[in-house]
């Protein structure tokens, strides 16, 4: 049964890190010391979508900004599970979670290759493209 967990527990952080290691470091070739940065703290909340308790397939990092903006960072889906709507379900749930916690706007720094995905999710480009962590990205926003 699909479940989305929002927490900073060690187990949930480990699931998020494992997905990011597989997608960004191994698949995309981003250096691990760039992928895992100072925002990855023991207190950081991560959203992880699990198809089973032992099968995390999508994750994102919750990064509160100023002025009631929630940045959704390090969004990724395990390669074998892409194109099935899991990323969009996760992002939609994270937007709802953020709205329930007083945030009024979502922000994403998305790679150009993912821009159409975020546009389908209701985001629009507000800046960029520019290079961030070795990849061209655009800044996108959405009212929550």
CATH 3.40.50.720 fits 3-143, yes or no: no
CB 60 within 8 A of CB 68: no
CB 51 within 8 A of CB 57: yes
pTM of the model: 0.94
Q: Is the pLDDT of residue 65 over 80?
A: yes
Mean pLDDT score of the chain: 95
Quickly state the pLDDT bin for 135 (edges 50, 70, 90). confident
Q: Is the pLDDT of residue 133 over 90?
A: no
3-state helix, strand, coil in the chain (%, to 5): 35, 40, 25
The stretch 81-107 carries a mean pLDDT of: 97
* Neighbour tally for 116: CB within 10 Å: 10
């Amino acid at each position: 049964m699909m479940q989305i967990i929002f927490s900073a527990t060690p187990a949930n952080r480990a699931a998020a890190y494992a997905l990011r290691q597989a997608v960004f470091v191994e698949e995309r070739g981003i250096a691990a010391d760039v992928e895992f940065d100072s925002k990855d703290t023991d207190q950081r909340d991560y959203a992880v979508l699990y198809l089973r308790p032992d099968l995390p397939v999508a994750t994102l990092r919750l990064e509160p900004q100023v002025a009631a903006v929630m940045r959704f960072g390090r969004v990724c889906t395990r390669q074998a599970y892409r194109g099935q709507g899991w990323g969009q379900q996760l992002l939609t749930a994270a937007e709802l979670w953020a709205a329930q916690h007083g945030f009024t706007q979502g922000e994403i720094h998305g790679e150009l290759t993912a821009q159409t995905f975020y546009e389908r999710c209701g985001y629009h480009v507000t800046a960029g493209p520019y290079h961030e962590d070795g990849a061209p990205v655009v800044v996108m926003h959405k009212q929550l």
